[in-house]
Amino acid sequence: MFSTSFIITLIGIALCAIALLSVVSWAGQSLISLSGTRQAHDDSTRTMRTAIRNRSEPKQAASEIGAWNGYRDFIVAKIVRECIHTTSLYLAPEDGKPIPGFKPGQHITLRFQLEGKSKPLVRCYSLSCGPGKAYYRVSVRHVEDRGGDKGPGVVSNIINTKSKVGDRIPIKAPSGHFFLDEESSDVVVLLAGGIGVTPMVSMLDRLIQTQSQRSVVLIHGSRNGNEQQFKEWLRECSSKYPNVHVVSCYSQPLPSDVQGVDYQAEGFVTLDLLKALLPSPQCQFYLCGPPPFMDSLYNGLGEWGVEESRINFEQFGPSTIKKSSAGHSEVHDEPDPVTFCESDEIALWSSSFNSILEMAEANDVEIESGCRAGSCGTCETAIAAGKVRYTTGEEVNCNPGCCLPCIAVPDGPLELEA
């Protein structure tokens, strides 16, 4: 005779096996489907690309009508709770005039003036909708407020708990180098960890808007169904558009989460999962998520043989990927003096700082910052004398005679207008 606990264990093992088989079966179908779709749509995709190009010309011209420099006042027009810890703000221009389009994946820079504080806080958030609407939308995860008045939780706390329709927020125009390549006909693979899904939602929205026939695979890692952003919308896209495949991975599903309905795979987003789902590494990959997610997938894709030019990723603050490849400069460790002219402060550079911005903050020198990863231009500072080097090893987009202290280190004695 078997004991009751033994029988329960056997039932548990059987259920797990059934769940795994359903994922494998789903993956197999998708793999066949993706391969077939890719071949079958080669011609139509070329046609679609031409169509998109033709359509985009008047849109781009129109987008310039609403362009602006610096900050422009926007009003919170609508607030939507996307999951237990994420809130979307729909932002419309206060002047009621047109707003420019943007490339799906780009971000906007928002300025928050806190009561009783002389200096505003600046934050960059990816746009979480496609272009061509009368508003911009950002979706912000509520992160723990770690105290102080500048910490990472301060603004997300305001947005998630205090924002009201009618609030005024000054905003810089959309920018950023992370965006969808709309000219490519390759399979689009959008890899998102948690709130990193926001730029992917923008890209997917755009692909749907333009009726693209490219195969799109969006893989979203979340803890469970309560914490997955845009769950219903993603599910709707997956069922409505044959070329869109959404795979939700829950690392800790709730008892109420149903595999095959709420999520497709249990666990984290891994390279093995990608290999099982995708027809080949010849896809265009877009990554955005927390550091472990970014590091493991970026390096995993490299090991799989994905060319670097096919991997696009969003670098924001601590999520910056540590590339193992050449070109990642080492931090300069000479004790060069750095002079902050306007603050009348001179300090010796130390390799304990990752950037001049960090050094400035440690010396109470105020430099406005947003993304802290060289994307938004908020920290741009004029160089009075000397040179800087960039830690990213990539091209930097800033005005002549200026630098981006968030990703720069001194290259010899340096004087900054800060």
How far apart (Å, rounded) are the C-alpha atoms in residues 224 and 255? 10
Nearest to ligand FES of 91, 376 (CB atom): 376
379 lies in the site for ligand FES, by CB under 6 A: yes
Exactly one of 63, 375, 381, 392 binds ligand FES (CB under 6 A); that residue is 375
370 lies in the site for ligand FES, by CB under 6 A: yes
Decide: 157 and 145 in contact? Cβ < 8 Å.
yes
72 strand-pairing partners: 171
Nearest to ligand FES of 289, 405 (CB atom): 405
Nearest to ligand FES of 136, 316 (CB atom): 316
**Token output for 259:** 């595999």
- Stretches 253-261, 298-306, 333-341, 364-372: which one binds ligand FES (CB under 6 A)? 364-372
**Token output for 99:** 């707003």
377 lies in the site for ligand FES, by CB under 6 A: yes
- Stretches 140-148, 197-205, 212-220, 369-377: which one binds ligand FES (CB under 6 A)? 369-377
Decide: 216 and 207 in contact? Cβ < 8 Å.
yes
How far apart (Å, rounded) are the C-alpha atoms in residues 161 and 155? 10
Q: Which of residues 196-215 bind ligand FES (CB under 6 A)?
A: none
How far apart (Å, rounded) are the C-alpha atoms in residues 320 and 65? 34
374 lies in the site for ligand FES, by CB under 6 A: yes
CB of 122 to ligand FES, least distance (A): 8
**Token output for 161:** 């708990």
Site pattern 389..408 for ligand FES (x: CB under 6 A): ---------------x-x--
Q: Which residues of 137-149 are buried (b: 16+ CB within 10 A; e: fewer)?
A: bbbbbbbeeeeee
DSSP string, 90-116: EEEETT--------TT-EEEEEE--TT
CB of 31 to ligand FES, least distance (A): 39
Exactly one of 82, 372, 381, 403 binds ligand FES (CB under 6 A); that residue is 372
Nearest to ligand FES of 98, 317 (CB atom): 317
Of the candidates 37, 46, 33, 36, the one whose C-alpha atom is nearest the C-alpha of residue 185 is 46
Contacts with ligand FES by CB under 6 A lie at 369-372, 374-379, 404, 406
